[in-house]
Structure 1
Amino acid sequence: MINTIKCPYCQKEIELSEALTDQIREEQKQEIEKNFEQKLREKILAEQELKIKDKENEAEELKKRNRELGNQLLELNKSLRLLREKDEERELKSQKQIFDEIEKAKENLAQKINEENRLKNLEKDKQIADLKKVAEELKRKAEQGSEQAQGEILELDLENSLRNVFPQDEILEVKKGVRGADLVQLVKTPMGNIAGKIIWENKRTKNWENKWIDKLRSDQRVEKARFAGLVSMVLPKDAPKEIIPINKVWVTTPKYFIALATFLRNILLEGAKQKAISAQSASTAEELYEYLNSHEFTQQMEAIAESYFGMQEQIIKEKVAFETQWKRREVQLNKMFKSLFNIYGGITGIAGPNFPQIKGLEMLEESKNDKDKLI
């Protein structure tokens, strides 16, 4: 078999020998193989490149998708952040609102508490003020009640003292609420006849009041009493001693009450005796009446009373510390007391033999007994 090949340039067919053909064939085979390998390589490379390209495209696509996903994630994160911010803002607003409401509630509660405390303080202050007023009123009433009770006790003491010392006299108590003095003493003679009337008023207060004198003078006129006596725990500041006459009212303290009562009572008894004498002799009675109402008689009686009460006061003050002097002055007091009856002797001298004879020591002894009871 003759193999021919066509020249690629002249297009003439050229006969080839077997060896050459084999060689050519081998070369063609090698060429073909080479081309095949080349093509295969190229194909593989192309496929690899394609795969790489695909991978690259895929990677790019992934990158793109990743970028998109990243962007979406960013947007999502942004949205989430915005949502969180909004939530936080709402939460903050809510918390702020709650806080504001709590603060407002606290403020309202504080105002309410302050107002309640203010009202309570006002109420407490009012209660304290009311209690102070009540306490002051109770204190005032208690003091008034105490003064009234003490006055009643003093009055009862005066009444009992008069009844004990002068059992023959009639002691009348003026009822509470009735205008007048506290006590009325009807002085009676040994025969039981009324010699005269003495009214007594007691005062147990802290301060002296001059209006007591005017009131007692008015009571004296109403009772038609010969004497009016005021027994007070306090005397006027300018009082020289504890028994003083003020506007024809005899004023003393409870300590000298019986002494003053004895003195005034003896005057009434003397007057009653002189009145009995006057019944026997009109002229003598007139002379005696003039003497009893004379300035001289009044001065003598006041002088004796002043000396008597002054000495008695001194004796009472010095009795404990100066027993010896007390005894000596008591003798002087007795002598002075007897001088009261010397006046009676003078009256008897004026009256003459018709004057009723009185046992000399009888009246003195009676007066002495009264004085002993006082001491």
Structure 2
Amino acid sequence: MTRVEHKGPLRERQGVNKSPRPFHHLSSFHLPSSVDQWPNFPPKAEWRSREEGLGFERMIKGSLQRPHTPKMHVVAVLVTPAASVLELAIPAEVFGRFADRSAQGQEKSRPRYVVRMCAMQPGLIPVSHGVSIRVPHGLDELSSADTVFIVSGNHDYPPEPPPALVKALEQAHSRGARVVAVRSGVCILAATGLLDGRRVASNADLADNLRQHHPAVHVMPSILYTADENIVTCAGGTAVLDLCLDIVRRDHGVTVTHGAARQLLAPPHRSGDQAQAVDLPLPERTGGMSELLDWIRARLDQPLALSDLAEAANVSPRTLARRFHSALGMTPIQWITNQRIRLAQHLLETTEDPISEIARTAGLGGPGNLRQQLVRTTGLSPRDYRRRFGRSGHGIDLASEVERRRSPARPPYGVAEPGS
């Protein structure tokens, strides 16, 4: 085969100044790690031959299709003296499962968490119930963490945090880290001023002291947890498990969360606005509330009015609304809407069904309402949500990105297309 010397842009990019070389000599050619670093591909007219040009293109696409391993999400758990063993163990267990790549058998390209225990001074830290934990990291670990958990004592109001800790928390927040305060850890975070004007969840035993020390904080002693941008507060106890699963859901979608919840034998989602204490016990499964909830889930694609639910439960609408709010902390319509959104999220993550079909199956009517509800709860349109959390998500299909760059008529990423 006759070789034609190439004098176009491709030759200049490769830095070839001598005689032309066949493409198999490019085996050590450095491939950029980001799509944005790729130059425009040469037009076909500049290929030395059709066979070698196609071979070069296959080489590039093959490299781009290699699995992309995202950066590990670092969860730093700040251990303080007398901290609750339970509240320390839950984030370590939930996020540690992802570090072990054991959550629902997810593929290795999925983003993962890594947990790092830290303290003011590394070493043996006495926590609750006579237990001591050897903590390997100091406060410097907070400077690189993506999520910071502050876990403090059970019921006593903690002393003023040292200036070094306040500074480390302020710096973590200012660079965009998610800061999570649990139980009396809320009091420590309040000392930084980051909770002023915010609605925060608090354990009932600490609420009065928290209001007295920090009157600018809106203390909510009746709810499980709150999330205000990248500031998260939690009342503590088993609500920490609900909070951790909610964080996984926000980061990786409902399907991954359900897999982790199944391994933990935990419900996949309990709303942060749910009451800390329920006045009436949940009814038994046979003939009670759980049976009604299953009945509703099986009919999410159908119109459901309060009267329909009351008839199915064989109670009055008023009684049903009271029981619903007592048990779940919300109205029946709010709960149904949440279930429909979660079903739509699951379908977007696991199927290639059209968005209009998913909206119908989830009982949300049309694409417009689905988009409105999803943007309200996740900040993403259905198309962006599928791109981020779907089976082909967690990274752009780079081979498709190559084709997109060669077709300038297509809209760039970040520009919404009709129906998205």
**Normalised by the size of structure 1, how large is the TM-score?**
0.32
**Normalised by the size of structure 2, how large is the TM-score?**
0.30
> Normalized per residue, which structure has more helix?
1
In our comparison, the structure showing a higher alpha carbon Rg is: 1
- Which one has more relative contact order, counting CA pairs under 8 Å at least 6 apart? 2
